[in-house]
C-alpha cells in the first residue's frame, strides 16, 4: 500500500516590480531591471565563485506585457532581510508598481 504524504509544501510567493510608475510612465533607464538584478546576483542558494555571472533565482528580470520588470521571490526576505528591504525600497522610492504573482508548478506531463 502506497503511503500518502501529509506534508503541505509552502507555496512559493513571488511578486513583480513592474517598470511602470503609478502615473503610467515607463521607468528609465531602460536597463534598470538588469542593473537591479545584477546587484542582487550574489543572493543565491548555492553561492559559489561565479555567482556574480548569473542572476539570483530570487530576483530576476523579465518582460511583462512588453515592459521590463523584475520577479522577486519572497524567500529572499528570510535569506537576507536587508536585501529584500533594498529591493522593496527601490520599488517604492521610484514609484514602481508592485503586482502579486505566484510561480505555477510544472505540468506533471512535462
> Do the domain assignments include residue 1?
no
Q: What burial class does residue 24 get, using C-beta atoms within 10 Å of its C-beta: 0-12 exposed, 13-18 middle, 19+ buried?
A: exposed
Could you tell me how far CA 43 lies from the centroid of its own chain?
Answer: 11
The reply to whether 28 falls in a domain is: yes
CATH number where 94 lies: 3.30.70.2340
- What is the span of the domain harbouring residue 68? 13-102
- Establish if 108 belongs to a structural domain: no
Residue 104 pLDDT exceeds 60 = no
Give pLDDT, residue 4: 43
pLDDT at 100: 87
Q: Is residue 36 a part of any domain in this protein?
A: yes
User: How many separate domains does the chain show?
Assistant: 1
pLDDT reported for residue 7: 52
Banded model confidence at residue 44, pLDDT cuts 50, 70, 90: confident
Distance CA 23, CA 7 (A): 44
Asked if residue 30 is part of any domain, the answer here is yes
In a domain, 7, yes or no: no
Q: Answer whether residue 5 is part of any domain.
A: no
Q: Report if residue 26 sits inside a domain.
A: yes
Cell 503586482, located at residue:
99
Summarize the confidence of residues 55-71 as an average pLDDT: 93
Amino acid at each position: 500500500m502506497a503511503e500518502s504524504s501529509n506534508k503541505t509544501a509552502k507555496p512559493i510567493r513571488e511578486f513583480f516590480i513592474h517598470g511602470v510608475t503609478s502615473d503610467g510612465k515607463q521607468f528609465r533607464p531602460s536597463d534598470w531591471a538588469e542593473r537591479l538584478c545584477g546587484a542582487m546576483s550574489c543572493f543565491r542558494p548555492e553561492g559559489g565563485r561565479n555567482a556574480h555571472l548569473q542572476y539570483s533565482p530570487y530576483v530576476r528580470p523579465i518582460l511583462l506585457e512588453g515592459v521590463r520588470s523584475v520577479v522577486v521571490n519572497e524567500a529572499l526576505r528570510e535569506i537576507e532581510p536587508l536585501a529584500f528591504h533594498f529591493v522593496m525600497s527601490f520599488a517604492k522610492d521610484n514609484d514602481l508598481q508592485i503586482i502579486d504573482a505566484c510561480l505555477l508548478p510544472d505540468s506533471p506531463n512535462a
